[in-house]
């Protein structure tokens, strides 16, 4: 028996997939054959359709898909009651995970894992995620939730249900780009968790609830909020260098928003978000967060090069300043990631359930052996 250990499953290929290809050496991210740099011209709905089908939709296919989605944004009263019952200070990711878990109880067929039922659940969750995140944000701030506007897109409804005002085309476009960039990324930690959970043939809600929990961690989707907290604590461009040097001097010190298991060159999503951040900084007249981010890249590039390491900014790095300039509170950044990634998670669940194999790896046992049981009254 092969007992080679791949810690963190690094380098392990567990199945085949037709959804996403990442070339970590060339810095390429491909959704079903299309380069992410071209897909930023598409809407989030077009990209969801692409991830869930074989190709981009025609105009008619997109219209039909959008019609199927539009009733799904309304948040049921039981979820609103849950949000009101959560203690003050509840993290929005805990709120989202709990709400998704609750939705299973009200679903007409939560356990069915045939393709048609899974796609129905996928449409429900794709529209519920933005509605849940925005409704929770309003409720925790003492405001009434906003009813969705079925004429708006996913990005538009998210902003509308958050603010109660119809979003500008420009704001909706930036949101669309952010959602497209975060929609899918192969066998990342949370997608693996979703597929692994599903592999016992449990229900899709359980798989997605587990994935939300995985995404929340600071080494994964939680990194965008951690980046912002770091920038806030630094406060100025001059403070960036001492901050970075201080983090790197610590054993296992990690500067949030840098590094990736797969990319050895710049994550293409980071470059796109850098450009968005630069534009927003120019438009808003507040370039502080963008300039601090650029300085952090400069110092990290220098320090990592000195160590002979290829550690570049990742997708979470510039999304922090982008979301800041769009006015989102810091603890909402990771839920926004989830609003996008539900599309990728569901695409992977369609694949997983269609040709399932139970995920059951092994551990090398290194504990004691040969012990003899001693009754409790005789143990010293």
Catalytic residues: 220, 260, 316
Among 254, 264, 271, 288, binds ligand CMC (CB under 6 A): 254
Kindly indicate which of the ranges 13-21, 115-123, 141-149, 248-256 contains the residues binding ligand CMC, using the contact rule CB under 6 A.
248-256
Say how far apart CA 316 and CA 254 lie, in whole Å: 14
- Rule CB under 6 A: say whether 220 interacts with ligand CMC: yes
- Rule CB under 6 A: say whether 311 interacts with ligand CMC: yes
- Rule CB under 6 A: say whether 188 interacts with ligand CMC: yes
Shortest distance, CB of residue 257 to ligand CMC, whole angstroms?
5
> Cβ(98)–Cβ(82) under 8 Å?
yes
Shortest distance, CB of residue 337 to ligand CMC, whole angstroms?
7
Say how far apart CA 324 and CA 277 lie, in whole Å: 10
Q: For residue 363, what is the DSSP state? A: -
Number of residues that bind ligand CMC (CB under 6 A): 19
Kindly indicate which of the ranges 77-85, 251-259, 347-355, 369-377 contains the residues binding ligand CMC, using the contact rule CB under 6 A.
251-259
Among 154, 175, 255, 346, binds ligand CMC (CB under 6 A): 255
- Rule CB under 6 A: say whether 183 interacts with ligand CMC: no
Nearest to 162 by CA among 188, 123, 191, 133: 133
Kindly indicate which of the ranges 21-29, 306-314, 339-347, 355-363 contains the residues binding ligand CMC, using the contact rule CB under 6 A.
306-314
- Rule CB under 6 A: say whether 359 interacts with ligand CMC: no
Say how far apart CA 272 and CA 302 lie, in whole Å: 22
Say how far apart CA 225 and CA 319 lie, in whole Å: 9
Shortest distance, CB of residue 260 to ligand CMC, whole angstroms?
5
Cβ within 8 Å of residue 62, ≥6 positions away = 45, 46, 49
Angle value at C-alpha 204, between 200 and 208, nearest 5 degrees: 105
Number of residue whose CB is nearest ligand CMC: 259
- Where does residue 95 rank: exposed (0-12), middle (13-18), buried (19+ CB within 10 A)? buried
Nearest to 19 by CA among 38, 33, 9: 33
Kindly indicate which of the ranges 124-132, 162-170, 307-315, 356-364 contains the residues binding ligand CMC, using the contact rule CB under 6 A.
307-315
Among 195, 260, 312, 341, binds ligand CMC (CB under 6 A): 260
> Cβ(69)–Cβ(177) under 8 Å?
no
Say how far apart CA 323 and CA 329 lie, in whole Å: 8
Among 156, 257, 335, 344, binds ligand CMC (CB under 6 A): 257
Among 176, 203, 316, 331, binds ligand CMC (CB under 6 A): 316
Instruction: List interacting residues with ligand CMC (CB under 6 A).
Output: 8, 188, 219-221, 223, 254-261, 309, 311, 314-316
């Amino acid at each position: 028996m092969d007992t080679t250990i791949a810690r963190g499953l690094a380098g392990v290929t567990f199945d085949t997939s037709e959804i996403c290809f990442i070339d970590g050496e060339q810095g390429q991210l491909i959704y079903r054959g299309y380069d992410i740099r071209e897909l930023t011209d598409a809407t989030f709905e077009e990209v969801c359709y692409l991830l869930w089908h074989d190709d981009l939709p025609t105009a008619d296919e997109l219209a039909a898909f959008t019609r199927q989605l539009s009733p799904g944004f309304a948040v049921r009263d039981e979820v609103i009651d849950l949000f009101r019952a959560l203690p003050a200070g509840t993290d929005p990711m805990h709120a989202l995970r709990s709400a998704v878990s609750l939705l299973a109880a009200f679903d007409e067929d939560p356990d069915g894992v045939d393709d048609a039922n899974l796609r129905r659940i996928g449409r429900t969750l794709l529209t519920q995620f933005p509605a849940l995140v925005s409704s929770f944000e309003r409720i925790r701030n003492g405001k009434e939730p906003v009813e969705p506007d079925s004429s708006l897109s996913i990005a538009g409804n998210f902003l509308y249900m958050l603010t109660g005002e119809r979003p500008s085309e420009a704001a909706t476009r930036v949101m669309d780009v952010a959602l497209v960039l975060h929609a899918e990324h192969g066998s990342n930690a949370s997608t693996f968790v979703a597929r692994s959970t599903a592999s016992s043939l449990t229900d899709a809600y359980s798989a997605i609830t587990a994935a939300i929990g995985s995404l929340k961690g600071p080494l994964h989707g939680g990194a965008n909020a951690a980046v912002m907290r770091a920038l806030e604590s630094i406060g100025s461009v001059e403070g960036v260098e001492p901050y970075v040097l201080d983090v790197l001097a610590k054993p296992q010190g990690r500067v949030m928003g840098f590094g990736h298991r797969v990319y050895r060159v710049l994550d293409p999503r980071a470059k796109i978000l850098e450009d968005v951040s630069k534009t927003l900084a120019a438009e808003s007249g507040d370039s502080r967060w963008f300039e601090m981010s650029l300085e952090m890249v400069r110092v990290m590039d220098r320090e990592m090069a000195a160590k002979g390491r290829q550690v570049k900014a990742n997708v979470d790095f510039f999304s922090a300043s982008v979301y800041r300039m769009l006015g989102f509170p810091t603890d909402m950044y990771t839920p926004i990631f989830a609003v996008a990634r539900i599309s990728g998670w569901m695409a992977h669940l369609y694949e997983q359930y269609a040709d399932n194999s139970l995920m059951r790896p092994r551990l090398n046992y290194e504990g004691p052996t040969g012990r003899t049981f001693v009754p409790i009254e005789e143990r010293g």
